[in-house]
Amino acid sequence: MQILHVVSGLDPKSGGVSQALQTMIKGLSALSVRSEVVTLDDPQAVYLQQMAFPVYATGPTKSSWQYSPNFRSWMDDHVAKYDLVLVHGLWHYHTYGTYQAWAQLKSKKPRLYVMPHGMLDPWFQRAAGRKLKALRNWLFWRLIENILINKADGLLFTCEMEKELAEITFRPYLPKSKKVVSLGVESPPVFTLAMKKAFIEKCRGLNRPFMLFISRINVKKGVDLLINAYLRLKAEGIELPQLVIAGPGLETAYGQEMQQLADGDPDILFPGMLEGNAKWGGFYSCEAFVLPSHQENFGVAVVEALACSKPVLISNQVNIWKEIALEQAGIIEQDTENGTYALLRRWTTLTSDQQQEMARRAKIAFETHFTVAQASERMLHALNRN
């Protein structure tokens, strides 16, 4: 089977779709599936040089819709040669251009699937501060996206909760099929002292055990909830590990606001984006991983923490929370300040033995639900059913 993956971009700083797609392609290749990718990226983008599969970059783009005239012409010339086209994500020109190129084919039409990656979650339409974006999405849905969703051969979801949430957001919503294929995360590299050293070098001020947040510094991730809950517990005299908030976005208005909210507290550290050895050093060295997100379709970093045998303290808006609760691999609360307060407080009340047992369960959760081999088999099975 030869698959064309269509995605708006592969920049790792823009979110988890890039990483999820790379892992997916690697897993499928082990099952003799050949994958190629077409994107709206600028062909000169440095991160494209790191990709281990063919990438056809048709940018640069114009406007926030990421329009590129080169994309449609490339699709018209090449789309018919593939067995299957898989569109990742919504709301950019790649969805419209893909459907137009696919629909005009008279013969040898490849099967067409869409993987929304959480972009049909109702949170995006309801969240405060997103009224204009919510209106834009509604208009795009009426004019463009519903045609792709309802005409494609089917939708693919990363977990059962994503599938359920997608059903309540927009109308008309009449996909031909809906399949849960999950995502897989590669097993982490074996821990080395070089990892710990790289992390410590990035995280100046670290001097005792810590909890780790790794994600974009963005309002969706609940960073403000985390800082406020941490400071509240600290003011009450609760003994806490240090808190490391790592990820891109410190230079944004929200990122600056979060650093001001921390008010120079020496126990709240902002090392920026962690990559390579520094990232794995953070995962392996932390007590627990924390992510009180308002909306998380899957949570690659959550699963990476599980793979490193780290308990995860998450909100119930992280869509894989049921699997984590089933395996007793973490603590789950509401995505509110009181819920985040409860996350941290409950962790501090566990005995050392209880924390170690939760860490053991974390690795079991990863091996039971989230390996690349499992996800790849599910994906291939779903795609071969039609």
Percent of the chain exceeding pLDDT 90 equals: 93
User: Is the Cβ–Cβ distance between 152 and 176 less than 8 Å?
Assistant: yes
Give CA–CA dist 278/169, Å, rounded. 39
CATH numbers and ranges of domains, the chain: 2-184+372-384 (3.40.50.2000), 193-369 (3.40.50.2000)
Query: What average pLDDT does range 102-124 have in this prediction?
Result: 94
pLDDT digits (tens, 9 = 90+) for 274-287: 999 999 999 999 99
Average pLDDT, the chain: 95
Give CA–CA dist 361/364, Å, rounded. 5
Q: How confident is the model at residue 14 (pLDDT cuts 50, 70, 90)?
A: confident
Q: How confident is the model at residue 54 (pLDDT cuts 50, 70, 90)?
A: very high
Query: What average pLDDT does range 248-271 have in this prediction?
Result: 96
**Nearest 10 degrees: CA dihedral of 223, 228, 233, 239?**
50
Q: Tell me, what DSSP letter sits at residue 15?
A: -
Give the DSSP H/E element, type plus range, for residue 149: helix 146-151
pTM of the model: 0.87
Per-residue pLDDT, 12: 84
pLDDT of 15 strictly over 80: no
pLDDT digits (tens, 9 = 90+) for 291-320: 999 999 999 999 999 999 999 999 999 999
Per-residue pLDDT, 386: 55
Per-residue pLDDT, 384: 86
Query: What average pLDDT does range 79-104 have in this prediction?
Result: 97
Give CA–CA dist 319/296, Å, rounded. 6
pLDDT of 260 strictly over 80: yes
Query: What average pLDDT does range 108-130 have in this prediction?
Result: 93
Per-residue pLDDT, 13: 78
Name 243's bridge partners: 211, 268
Per-residue pLDDT, 108: 85
Give CA–CA dist 241/311, Å, rounded. 14
Give CA–CA dist 173/27, Å, rounded. 30
User: Is the Cβ–Cβ distance between 162 and 119 less than 8 Å?
Assistant: no
Per-residue pLDDT, 385: 67
3-class secondary structure per residue, the chain: CEEEEEECCCCHHHCCHHHHHHHHHHHHHCCCCEEEEEECCCCCCHHHHHCCCCEEECCCCECCCCECHHHHHHHHHHHHHCCEEEEECCCCHHHHHHHHHHHCCCCCCCEEEEECCCCCCCHHHHCCCCHHHHHHHHHHHHHHHHHHHHHCCEEEECCHHHHHHHCCCCCCCCCCCEEECCCCECCCCCCCHHHHHHHHHHCCCCCCCEEEEECCCCHHHCHHHHHHHHHHHHHCCCCCCEEEEECCCCCCHHHHHHHHHHCCCCCEEEEECCCHHHHHHHHHHCCEEEECCCCECCCHHHHHHHHCCCCEEEECCECCHHHHHHCCCEEEECCCHHHHHHHHHHHHHCCHHHHHHHHHHHHHHHHHHCEHHHHHHHHHHHHHCC
Among residues 215, 105, 92, the alpha carbon closest in space to that of 151 is found at 105
Q: How confident is the model at residue 182 (pLDDT cuts 50, 70, 90)?
A: confident
pLDDT digits (tens, 9 = 90+) for 156-181: 999 999 999 999 999 999 999 999 99
